[in-house]
A = this chain, B = another copy of it.
Amino acid sequence: MFETAELGRTIRKAEFKRLAPILRQELLELQDTLHKNKRFPVILVFAGVDGGGKGETVSLLNAWMDPRWLITRAYDDDGDGDWNRPEFWKYWRDLPPRGRIGMFLSAWYSRPMLDRVYEKTDDATFANQLERIVGFERALARDGALILKFWMHLSRDAQEHRLTNLENDPLTAARVTKRDWEHWRIYDRFIEAAEQLVSRTNRGIAPWTVVEGTDPNYRAVTVSTLLRDAVARRLEEEPSGNNQGAPAAKKKSKGTKNKHRQAAASAAASKATAYEAARSITVLSGLDMSQRLEKERYKERLIDLQARLHRLHLAAKSRNVASVLLFEGPDAAGKGGAIRRINEALDARNYQVHGFSAPTEEERARHYLWRFWRRIPRAGHVTIFDRSWYGRVLVERVEGFASEDEWRRAYAEINDFEEQLNENNTVLVKYWIHITEDEQLARFKLREKTPYKRWKLTDEDWRNRDRWDDYEEAVNDMVQYTSTSAAPWTLVEGNDKRFARIRVLETYCLRLEKALGEPAE
């Protein structure tokens, strides 16, 4: 989940200096419109890793915007400070009215998170607490609130680095507490709980954005750009019946409409910026696509791994451990070849391969997950999906077959589906086999020349190449929202088929060994 926030995204100082006054002006104008038409409140939540820049970002927004219409709240470990009212009393008390922006630091996420990390609560209780939060945010969102949540992330090393830097600077040394270091020492537990927290409370009506917290410029620009765009978009929408404040606002909305149109236009103008450039760095940019494996070495490794997989496969079968393997990737990435190398090691009575393209009529008549649910393996069996339910957030998103609302809610639906597989003694391995644009072109050309491969190449394959960047963004979001410690994505460098096949086999062996509690060989 947090891989997407460890990519080294930065914005240089000069660029930031150019951008900041533009963003600032845009935010002020939107804030003014928001305040004047009083149609909805804005609720911003900042949470995440200590040192990820929650406080700095909030301070910056306070400096950039008009503080009269801003409410900022952080909450201490309250003890009896709130006279023993229910915890949410203080959050309700502090809610911004329509027309204002409220910024909440950790707030309702703090206690469930810390209780879980310090093992004061179990998983079920944690889940219930998160469900209460969902109910709270849903009630506010349905009443018209615009809710944006930012999870400020740092890698373990980046956190250590940042805490040390803060301590070394006399101006900031006091901000680092014992507790910050304590949290750093239990970083892995923290991240595991954070993954649960973000995925369970990431709803369309109150989405999380995971923000890479290392570079102050990048995180400031990210947060303010997202805030600007979300407010501008909502102001553009017609007031709905849900907003009690709407009648008063309706009269004014025409007068102010031009103004926020302007803001939106200037927003568009400042969009093609360093921020976009920073965002074009995705989880796929981090892959070393030059990796290769020599033929001799490949043959040895292949035989070893297939033998190892065969043994593990029999052990899994006898212990009723099922496997679901799914393969995604660009056309011609080599999914089929990798799948065959796995099949060779399995007992043919115990596995099934399902390829998926456009749904049939029977399938279209039901929920998109139906065709996958019905094919999941029984205990001890293996099912391999050549393309999968991730089509919803890849091809269907990029080609517009699914509406934004549909593909956005699919992340939660998919996480829920995979959680059930996971609970049911199923090893779930998700592969994205990646190739570069050039490599794909070379393979397409080869297919054209090779008679027995020509059928594999369609006009659609060529068309898809025009959308390469859109697919890359979709993959990045997919990894952000669906790569969890229980069901991680494996990104495979696929320019060299031999290298990719070995990575695929090895990953499956390792996951099986972990599930069976066997020592890695």
Chain A 193-219 interface residues, beta-carbon cutoff 8 Å to B = none
Q: Distance in Å from the Cβ of A249 to the closest Cβ of chain B?
A: 11
In Å, the complex CA distance between A41 and B323 comes to 32
Task: Among B97, B365, B378, B403, point to the contact of A83 (Cβ < 8 A).
Answer: B378
Bound CA span A244–B396, Å: 12
Q: Report how far A470 CA is from B312 CA in the complex, Å.
A: 67
Binary B-proximity of A23-39 (CB < 8 A = 1, otherwise 0): 00000000000000010
Known contacts A242-B406, A416-B132, A416-B135; A86/B421 CB under 8 A: yes
| A366 in contact with B41 (CB, 8 Å) | yes
A283-321 vs B, CB cutoff 8 Å, 1 = contact: the mask equals 000000000000000000000000000000000000010
| A369 near B320: Cβ-Cβ < 8 Å | no
Residues of B within 8 A of A379 (CB): 83-85
Is residue A412 contacting chain B, with contact meaning CB distance below 8 A?
yes
Q: Who on chain B is nearest to A247 by CB?
A: B364
Residues of chain B contacted by A478 (CB below 8 angstroms): none
Query: CB within 8 A of A125: which of B124, B135, B245?
Result: B124
User: A222-266: contact bitstring with B at CB < 8 Å (1 yes, 0 no)?
Assistant: 000000000000000000011011000000000000000000000
CB pair B416 A143 closer than 8 Å: no
A172 contacts chain B at the CB level, 8 A cutoff: no
Known: A83-B378, A84-B379, A127-B131. A365 touches B99 (CB 8 A): yes
Q: Mark out the residues of chain A between 100 and 145 whose CB falls within 8 Å of any chain B CB in the assembled complex.
A: 122, 124-125, 127-128, 131-132, 135-136, 139-140, 142-143, 145
Copy number in the complex reads: 2
Q: Apart from A122-B124, A140-B367, what 8 extra A-B contacts exist at CB < 8 Å?
A: A41-B366, A84-B320, A84-B322, A84-B424, A86-B424, A87-B420, A92-B374, A241-B403
**What are the 8 closest A-B residue pairs judged by CB atoms, nearest first?**
A83-B378, A97-B365, A84-B379, A92-B373, A124-B124, A86-B424, A86-B420, A143-B367
A residues lining the B interface (CB < 8 Å): 38, 41, 83-89, 92-93, 95, 97-99, 122, 124-125, 127-128, 131-132, 135-136, 139-140, 142-143, 145, 241-242, 244-245, 320, 322, 362, 364-370, 373-374, 376-379, 403, 405-406, 409, 412-413, 416, 420-421, 423-426
